């Protein structure tokens, strides 16, 4: 199968066609692209780092309010998203491998799987946002100190709630839905900002992968030239890694 | 001319016409005349053209920021404020600060001269990512449009520091727009820094080892590291400020458990390293100028190179010295005070090295060298007063007074802007192929030097006497110093306007410069002026250290050896200076 794929989509270029004028050879171009992306990811680490540091400072200062906030999040949806995103990274890695072998058809297939999983992630995230909006967790004017009574919750929330009661011992405010603190808004601010910035990065990633698929359709990638897939791959794994930190920090730090 | 043709065979692979011959300059195909359309400029990926685009853009902003400064100085002529009320005054100094910091000083030397000469200096055809380079200019322009709209709508009054909770909860003018402008501007800065780092790592020509690189590259490399590592923190901080300002949620709001001091920590974690983004490139320019115009190998090459890196790294650890009176603990303040002293060490290493380079050199006081000398003197004064301010006990009294204003204007204006003009004059012949009027150049530098000192020295005294910054009125006993300062500012303005006359004049009537009017070392001087589109006809090969002026003296001061790729050694002849 791979032999036929290679025959049909045999690389039409040796990579020289993609050598930009400022570079001496393909190696220099590839190394520059990779170094550039690593540096960019370094700036991203600092960008998110500013958020994580601020979060950590406030978490230490207001442990109870932040714990309450964490208990209001749907850890099972976050966990589901973690699984989805890790799987998407797996397909991304396969896509990079396929591009190194110059197999453009498999590049497309793996990127499609990655994008599908990314969209699924964003769907779950959107659902979470909706639930939180519904429960009055959005900070600002619409933030409700008094959680909605269980009877007025949507069927979805109620269903999720019973699932959570069934799964674990850290049940948020069990049945009586205690009063929230004003400072829980601070936690929710960070939750929404951090996840929204992360989601923005995912949208950019989906855009980049769409571009890669358009290139792959033209059979642009070959064993000699596949820099874009490699650097977008790096980017995607980074976005994934950010989530791997966001998930425990936001959802799981709920023990007293 | 001091050159023996028999000993130094003239083989020039680069320019057909002998350097210095009349009219030969503009004829050879170069980056300026290869295409003429507006489109060819706006969509260019040529680092030289992008450098020129930046030059125009930041010059525009220099005059916007300068205009605000002029109004500030005019207002301070009388104790009660001459022309504007307090609210407008707040907007004026905010516009001045925001525009000068992000739209002039930070891009000034890196984005114009750095863009122009980095590939030339390392023997490359372009930066590693030419399209990203163009993108960074567009981001700059885009952010500039935001800033421009902000100014025309009426400005913001937070100061360039956006301190919370004033900026988030109370200020009801165009804070969001200003924050957007600076946020976008930051991406331009990050992309430029990233491009420079990759270029220095990956694009050096054969033989160009790290320790053969001109020191300008070392300083730009250190600058780029700071740009890449510090700017994201500014981005996230301003994003948080913007979100809090728009949605009224409390990230820095004490009512909801937020902490305004956290904002200050995050802001200065960027903005202190940012002052090294502003001054390190200036130091790099001065390293080039001092050695060239002393006709002497630079003293302590490695020390200057590593002091740039040291400043960049230690610069990350001193931010809280802006917050000594903000309620941080006395222990952390002491540590930050100590760390701030440490920055003075690499800075003074540079000053001593420059001075030692001039010692027993054949110092030639051309315009760029006058700028370099001005830089060394003014930077030293600004740096020493910086050490005073880093002293914990002293800063408690000096904090937010005109002493601080004078201190950082000595570094930023006396230092960076001086170096900027030095570099502009030094590489002007390379960029345009023409010599500017040396007489006017020297006169201008002297006017700037005098005007600068008259403007800012009285501010040291004002601050020492206790006049706070950002006040639009003051007690009558301070008037004499304020009048002196405003008088100086008007002289300074003349100095800054003069290059507007004689530099464009030189484009048409200036003497053709030849490839190497300063008889300088460095690859950028071995290609034609203006350089061809792809910089070098053949990839150069470097065989000697960066500032081998001592070797050139032995060869009768006329030529330096280079070999072109893989071919027999070729000697490129350096033209005589126009004065000769």
At B87 the three-state DSSP class reads helix
Find tokens 């570079």 and name the residue. Answer: A23
- Token pair in block for residue A55: 């979060």
Chain A residues in contact with B201 (beta carbon < 8 A): 32, 35
B71 within 8 A of B53, measured Cβ to Cβ: no
Q: Which range, of A169-183, B176-190, B380-394, averages the lowest pLDDT?
A: A169-183
pLDDT tens for each residue of B522-540? 999 999 999 999 999 899 9
Q: CA–CA separation, B50 vs B44, rounded Å?
A: 7
Give whichever of A179-193, B68-82, B557-571 has the largest mean pLDDT. Answer: B68-82
Mean pLDDT within B494-511: 95
Chain B residues in contact with A196 (beta carbon < 8 A): none
Contact A54 B197 (CB under 8 A): no
pLDDT at residue A9 tops 60: no
Contact A46 B232 (CB under 8 A): yes
Percent of chain B with pLDDT over 70: 91
Contact A139 B247 (CB under 8 A): yes
Chain A residues in contact with B203 (beta carbon < 8 A): 22, 28, 32
pLDDT tens for each residue of B401-453? 999 999 999 999 999 999 999 999 999 999 999 999 999 999 999 999 999 99
Q: CA–CA separation, A65 vs B226, rounded Å?
A: 36
Does an H or E element contain A50, and which?
A: helix A26-61
Closest CB to A32: pick one of B198, B258, B262.
B198
Contact A50 B236 (CB under 8 A): yes
Q: Which range, of B195-199, B230-234, B557-561, averages the lowest pLDDT?
A: B557-561
pLDDT at residue A7 tops 70: no
Mean pLDDT within B103-132: 96
Find tokens 């009176």 and name the residue. Answer: B325
| Strand runs labelled E in chain A | none
pLDDT at residue B395 tops 80: yes
Q: CA–CA separation, B410 vs B386, rounded Å?
A: 10
Contact B229 A186 (CB under 8 A): no
Mean pLDDT within A190-202: 97
Q: Which pLDDT value is given to residue B196? A: 97
DSSP alpha helices (H): ranges in B466-580? 479-509, 549-554
Question: B251 CB near a chain A CB, below 8 Å?
Answer: yes
Chain A residues in contact with B266 (beta carbon < 8 A): 50, 54
Q: Which pLDDT value is given to residue B249? A: 84
Contact A28 B202 (CB under 8 A): yes
| Strand runs labelled E in B428-577 | 540-541, 559-564, 569-573
How many Cβ pairs closer than 8 A exist between chain A and B? 107
pLDDT at residue B173 tops 80: yes
Q: Which of A28, A54, A138 to mutate to test the interface with B (most CBs of B within 10 A)?
A: A54
Contact A185 B128 (CB under 8 A): no
Question: B243 CB near a chain A CB, below 8 Å?
Answer: yes
pLDDT tens for each residue of B80-92? 999 999 999 999 9
Radius of gyration for chain A, computed over Cα atoms and rounded to the nearest angstrom = 22
pLDDT tens for each residue of A50-103? 999 999 999 999 998 898 899 888 888 999 999 999 999 999 999 999 999 999
Mean pLDDT within B554-572: 43
Contact B248 A43 (CB under 8 A): no
Q: Which pLDDT value is given to residue B254? A: 87
* pLDDT, mean over chain B: 90
Q: Which of B255, B256, B269, B532 to mutate to test the interface with A (most CBs of A within 10 A)?
A: B256
SS3 for B156-183 is: CCCCCCCCCCHHHHHCCCCHHHHHHHHH
Distance from CA of B198 to the nearest CA of A (A): 6
Q: Which pLDDT value is given to residue B232? A: 97
pLDDT band at A256 (very low <50, low <70, confident <90, very high): low
Q: Which pLDDT value is given to residue A153? A: 63
Q: Which residue of chain A is at minimal alpha-carbon distance from B199?
A: A32
pLDDT band at B4 (very low <50, low <70, confident <90, very high): very low
Percent of chain A with pLDDT over 70: 82
CA-based torsion, B465, B468, B469, B472: positive or negative: negative
Mean pLDDT within A120-147: 90
Chain B residues in contact with A32 (beta carbon < 8 A): 128-129, 198, 201-203
Q: CA–CA separation, B343 vs B167, rounded Å?
A: 31
Q: What number of other Cβ atoms are within 10 A of residue A133's Cβ? A: 11
- Token pair in block for residue B519: 């008889």
B561 φ/ψ angles, rounded to the nearest 5 degrees = -90, 130
Contact B233 A141 (CB under 8 A): no
Chain A residues in contact with B127 (beta carbon < 8 A): 22
B406 within 8 A of B459, measured Cβ to Cβ: yes
pLDDT band at B7 (very low <50, low <70, confident <90, very high): very low
Q: What number of other Cβ atoms are within 10 A of residue B154's Cβ? A: 12
Contact B262 A65 (CB under 8 A): no
Contact A189 B251 (CB under 8 A): yes
At A138 the three-state DSSP class reads coil
pLDDT at residue B311 tops 90: yes
Query: For residues B108 and B28, which has the higher predicted lDDT (pLDDT)?
Result: B108
pLDDT at residue B5 tops 60: no
């Amino acid at each position: 199968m791979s032999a036929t794929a290679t025959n049909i989509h045999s690389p039409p270029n040796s990579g020289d066609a993609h050598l930009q004028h400022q570079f001496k050879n393909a190696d220099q171009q590839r190394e520059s692209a990779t170094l550039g992306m690593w540096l960019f990811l370094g700036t991203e680490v600092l960008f998110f780092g500013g958020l994580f540091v601020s979060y950590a400072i406030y978490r230490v200062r207001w442990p109870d309010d932040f714990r309450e906030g964490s208990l209001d999040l749907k850890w099972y949806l976050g966990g589901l998203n973690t699984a989805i995103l890790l799987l998407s990274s797996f397909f991304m890695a396969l896509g990079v491998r396929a591009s190194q072998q110059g197999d453009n058809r498999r590049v497309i297939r793996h990127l499609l799987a990655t994008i599908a999983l990314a969209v699924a992630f964003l769907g779950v995230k959107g659902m979470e946002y909706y639930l939180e909006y519904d429960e009055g967790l959005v900070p600002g004017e619409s933030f409700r100190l008094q959680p909605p009574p269980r009877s007025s919750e949507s069927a979805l929330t109620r269903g999720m709630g019973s699932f959570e009661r069934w799964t674990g011992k850290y049940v948020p405010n069990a049945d009586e839905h205690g009063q929230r603190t004003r400072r829980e808004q601070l936690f929710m601010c960070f939750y929404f900002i951090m996840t929204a910035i992360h989601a923005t990065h995912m949208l950019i990633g989906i855009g980049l992968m769409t571009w890669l698929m358009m290139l792959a359709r033209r059979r642009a990638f070959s064993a000699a030239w596949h820099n874009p897939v490699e650097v977008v791959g790096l980017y995607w794994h980074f976005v994934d890694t950010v989530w791997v930190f966001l998930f425990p920090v936001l959802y799981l730090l709920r023990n007293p | 001319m001091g050159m023996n043709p028999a000993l130094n065979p003239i083989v020039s692979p680069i320019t057909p016409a002998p350097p210095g011959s009349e009219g030969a300059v503009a004829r050879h195909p170069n980056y300026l005349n290869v295409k003429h359309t507006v489109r060819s400029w706006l969509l260019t990926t040529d680092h030289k053209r992008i450098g020129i685009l930046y030059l125009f853009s930041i010059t525009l902003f220099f005059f916007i920021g300068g205009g605000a400064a002029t109004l500030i100085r005019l207002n301070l002529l009388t104790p009660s404020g001459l022309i504007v009320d307090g609210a407008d005054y707040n907007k004026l100094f905010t516009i001045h600060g925001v525009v000068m910091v992000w739209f002039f000083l930070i891009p000034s030397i890196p984005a114009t001269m750095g863009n122009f000469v980095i590939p030339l200096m390392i023997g490359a055809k372009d930066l590693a990512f030419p399209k990203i380079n163009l993108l960074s200019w567009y981001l700059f322009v885009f952010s500039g449009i935001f800033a421009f709209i902000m100014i025309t709508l009426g400005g913001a009054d937070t100061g360039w520091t956006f301190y919370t909770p004033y900026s988030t909860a109370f200020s009801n003018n165009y804070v969001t727009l200003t924050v957007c402008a600076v946020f976008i501007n930051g991406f331009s800065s990050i992309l430029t820094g990233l491009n420079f780092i990759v270029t220095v790592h990956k694009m050096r020509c054969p033989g160009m080892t790290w320790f053969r690189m001109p020191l300008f590259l070392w300083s730009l490399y250190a600058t780029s590291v700071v740009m890449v590592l510090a700017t994201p923190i500014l981005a996230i901080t301003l994003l948080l400020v913007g979100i809090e300002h728009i949605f009224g949620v409390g990230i820095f709001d004490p009512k909801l458990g937020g902490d305004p001091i956290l904002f200050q920590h995050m802001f200065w974690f960027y903005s202190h390293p940012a002052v090294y983004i502003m001054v390190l490139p200036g130091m790099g320019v001065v390293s080039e100028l001092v050695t060239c115009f002393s006709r002497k190998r630079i003293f302590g090459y490695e020390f200057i190179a590593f002091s740039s890196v040291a400043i960049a790294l230690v610069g990350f650890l001193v931010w809280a010295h802006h917050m000594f009176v903000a309620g941080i603990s006395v222990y952390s303040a002491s540590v930050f005070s100590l760390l701030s002293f440490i920055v003075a060490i690499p800075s003074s290493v540079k000053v001593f090295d420059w001075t030692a380079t001039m010692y027993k050199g054949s110092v030639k006081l051309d315009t760029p060298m006058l700028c370099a000398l001005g830089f060394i003197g003014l930077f030293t004064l600004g740096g020493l007063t910086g050490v005073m301010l880093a002293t914990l006990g002293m800063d408690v009294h000096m904090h937010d007074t005109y002493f601080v204003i004078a201190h950082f204007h000595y570094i930023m204006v006396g230092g960076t802007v001086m170096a900027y003009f030095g570099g502009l004059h030094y590489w002007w012949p390379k960029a345009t192929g023409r010599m500017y009027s040396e007489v006017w150049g020297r006169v201008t530098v002297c006017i700037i030097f005098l005007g600068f000192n008259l403007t800012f020295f009285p501010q040291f005294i004002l601050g020492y006497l206790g006049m706070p910054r950002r006040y639009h009125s003051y007690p009558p006993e301070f008037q004499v110093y304020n009048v002196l300062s405003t008088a100086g500012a008007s002289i300074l303005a003349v100095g800054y306007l003069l290059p507007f006359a004689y530099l464009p004049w030189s484009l048409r009537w200036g003497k053709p410069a030849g490839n190497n009017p300063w008889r300088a070392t460095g690859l950028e001087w071995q290609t034609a002026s203006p350089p061809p589109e792809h910089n070098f006809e053949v990839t150069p090969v470097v065989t000697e250290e960066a500032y081998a002026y001592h070797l050139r003296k032995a060869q009768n001061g006329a030529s330096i050896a280079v070999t072109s790729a893989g071919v027999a050694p070729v000697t490129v002849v350096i033209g005589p200076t126009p004065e000769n």
